[in-house]
Structure 1
Amino acid sequence: MPTAAFEVELMPRLGPAVADYPPGSTFGPRDARTYEFVWLLSGSATWLWDDLRVPLTPGTLLLVRPGMRDSFHWDPRRSTRHAYVHFTLRGGGDGGGDGGAAAGGVAAASGAAWPIVRDLGGRPDPMGALCQYLLWLGASCPPGWREQAAETLRLLVLTFLAPPPASPGDASGGLPEPVVAAMSAVRSAWSDGVARPVGLERLAATAGVSVSTLCRAFQRRFGLGPVAALERLRLARAEPLLWMSNLSLQAIAVQCGFADAYHFSRRFRAVYGVAPSAFRATPPQTAPPSPLVASGLAALEPLTPSL
């Protein structure tokens, strides 16, 4: 995927904008000369390139690359409305041909590895919002809108080419299946916002494995057993509460599932090396590192409810 070391240039008079096609319209074959994002707002279409026939529906984002000889067949039964924007990538050669080695920081991505379409809905990601913002910029044209649109497009390209994030409950990303399954018990226990302890037997039963099997899975992946791993998750939840709230240590202790401020402070000092009161007075940039980073426990955070 590309790095941040590239720039985007909008093509004059080629979006971001909206086009309406009557039923049965076609476009192409054409040789694409720029990059182009296309997303349907209503209706449907089929996009054809080489041997590919890609159905397009509202909520689908298509990326056309320079050098593609493609065509569109719009909905034969009703009008279709779609949004589009043409752009180039700058930084040392535009990729040409099959869209392979594109500008500067994009050179690491081969054309064949680039995705064709992405879903704008069904999972949390910013692409839908970025597309809406592009359309707003193109329609309202506030001062400096072209520069804002170029930066928005750059972020859209980065997000489009990034691997889709794993959804909660998905064992992808290297997490063992028993670990992912056990975290459903944590989601249930923490659903009211209180990160309370969850018993080892309950975790194993939810995962459908023995306690020893679950402990081995956690140890191999994180170097910690399930109970210790969850305690570090609970302690990490205290960080924003210490820095960005006026809550007492007792209130923070309860929110993080500890019986009282004394127990919370003792465990916090054991893991962070400083007392919670000292941590609260320390600027974030010089505070002790999170216990989730070195152990890889941050991978478990998406499987827990938000604060």
Structure 2
Amino acid sequence: MAFPDLLHWRASGSFRNIPMPPVRRVDPGDYLLVWVIEGTIHGDLAGEPFTAGRGRVLMFPPSVPHSYAAPRTGDWHWLWVHFAGSAAAAVHEEFTAAGVPLALTDDQGMYRKFMAVLTHAQQSPAPQESRALSGELLGLLGTLLDRCAPQAKRSAGEPRLEALFGWIAENLNRPLPLSELCAVATYSPAQLHRLFIAAVGLSPQAYVARVRHSTAADLLALTSMAVADVAAAVGYADPLYFSRRFKAWSGLSPSAFRAGRIQGPGSGAPSGPPQDFN
């Protein structure tokens, strides 16, 4: 089952001080990322030997023969994940674009994120078919690469992201697929997802949905526009579908939301922050 613009989880785990023979992959069919938490890893990639120490983040692409092995003595600990999918090449491209070895040490927040994804994969009855796990993996790898990257690289794209926020607000009355957002901002899907998560804590699609619904709330509260016209203004061709999505977001139908705002506090308007739905 394919998930466009996402990653496919294949396998993942945490290796720590276990007896492990050297691994050789002659014709790998997926990407492999390894984060060295403690100790070292050594091996070769396309015949070129390497040794990487504590904190290093390594990525092995498909169809490129490689081998790796754990140290024979001392403590060591790796986190690793095999993945494929339509966004995998973009993740690898961003990884190599840094031009320098990537490393991340003593980042407990990143470690907890990685372990949370590993735990989700272990508990999922069908992890390779899980859309939620696929999205979590894309966010995890994007955040990991972002924290590894030099500060100048991380901040270089911010003006484009700010411009994209403005463009979204100006084009809410029509469909805004992820492919068009990427084209406007000139980012890959993986890059755009990473930047949105870092900036607003939401995926691009969830951010668009939030802007649609919050704009609809303003139009309902501040104008006398018909509900159908509000729906069209924020990109919903079907007023009934808009009403269902708005109620899922706010807890009230558009008409009840408008009535509550007109009548004032205590009239049934939502008291807490609404949730975001696509």
Task: Mark the structure with the bigger radius of gyration.
Answer: 1
- TM-score, normalised to structure 2, is 0.42
Higher-helix-fraction structure: 2
